[in-house]
Structure 1
Amino acid sequence: MNSKLFLSDKDLAARYGVTRATIWRWLAEGRLPETVHIGPNTTRWKKSSIEEHDSRLELATRSAKTAKAAP
């Protein structure tokens, strides 16, 4: 298994500049993609799912800024 295909809660915390507890709270709130269980007590996120999620957030943020700037 290629570990670069999956991200841990620690990886996501570093990526977003938050704590691991925040990552799990965001997951519970539906603010992150679903996880993949790759073993007992081992949960990861698909890197591709996180990248798609980030792209959607970026697009939504740009759209909101554009709509706000329009007269």
Structure 2
Amino acid sequence: MDAQNHQQYLSVKDVAGRYRIGVSTVWEQVAAGRMPAGIKLAPNTTRWRLSDLIDWEAGLASSHNHST
């Protein structure tokens, strides 16, 4: 099976834990455009694709490497 069929989704608590920040900081970073937005599944349910976060991290690393 291809990787798309095995997409992993993270809750806001999972995202906060991944980056060792608070849940409210995740929401602040998303609102400021400094972190990818999650996918709203229901009024009180948002999930982030792990692959989106990994791509975002790679972009951060790439832009950091180009600036040094």
Give TM-score scaled by structure 2 length: 0.81
Q: Which has the higher contact order (CA 8 A, sep 6+)?
A: 2
The Cα of 1:62 is off from its aligned counterpart by 1.1
The Cα of 1:39 is off from its aligned counterpart by 2.8
Give TM-score scaled by structure 1 length: 0.78
Provide the secondary structure at the position in 1 that maps to 2:53: helix
2:15 corresponds to which residue? 12
Q: Determine if the alignment matches structure 1 residue 29 to structure 2 residue 32.
A: yes
In structure 2, list runs of 5 or more residues that go unmatched.
none
**Structure 2: distance between partners of 1:52 and 1:61:** 14
Provide the secondary structure at the position in 2 that maps to 1:38: strand
Number of residue pairs aligned between Structure 1 and Structure 2? 63
Aligned alpha-carbon RMSD (Å): 1.6
Q: Give CA-to-partner distance per residue, 1:7-64, whole Å, 9 cap, x none.
A: 1111111111111110000000011112112234110111111110000001111111
**Structure 2: distance between partners of 1:24 and 1:37:** 13
* Letter of the structure 2 residue corresponding to residue 29 of structure 1: A
